[in-house]
Amino acid sequence: MEVDSVHATIEKKLKGVEIHLPSDYVKVIKSARKQPEPCQVKYLDHTFFSNYKDFGNLKSIKPGKKITAPNVTNLRALKYTPDGLMFFKTSFADDWELLPLPRNDVIPVNGPDRLYSSRLKIKQSKYDHLQSLKSVLLKDAHAFYDNLPH
């Protein structure tokens, strides 16, 4: 699969590289592949994650009712849109197809609330261990570790 080769390319590029901050991974991943195009990286924070707990669960994500319809095991990708629709692919090369949903399973247009209102805290012991690592890190990276919520 293409994903495996991309992952292997990134792993090769990481060998021998010193990583001091999460942003260092972004630089390595973007530079890992030149052709057909550089890898795209989306740097996430706590505001990216949404809370779907109050939304109804789908009874099925089988993309069709007929016997000849693809099975769940044939799905290769799912995509959710802000307007509450779901799309699927049975091959990565295919175009997105609308997943037929029962009316009550459609996600409301206003969407879910944020899952986290602030950055997640780490345990005090982890914070202390990360502080002890600062002796081998560049001074430019110290502020990141000092500002971790704990």
Task: Give the pLDDT of residue 113.
Answer: 87
Buried b or exposed e, range 131-150, using 16+ CB within 10 angstroms: eeeeeebeeebeeebeeeee
Task: Give the pLDDT of residue 35.
Answer: 84
* Model confidence pLDDT, tens digit, residues 131-149: 999 999 999 999 999 999 9
The residues of the chain scoring below 70 in pLDDT are 1-3, 55-72, 101-109
pTM of the model: 0.60
β-partners of residue 140 are none
Task: Give the pLDDT of residue 2.
Answer: 64
Task: Give the pLDDT of residue 74.
Answer: 78
How open is the CA angle 13-27-137, to the nearest 5 degrees? 90
Strands 97-98 and 77-80: unpaired
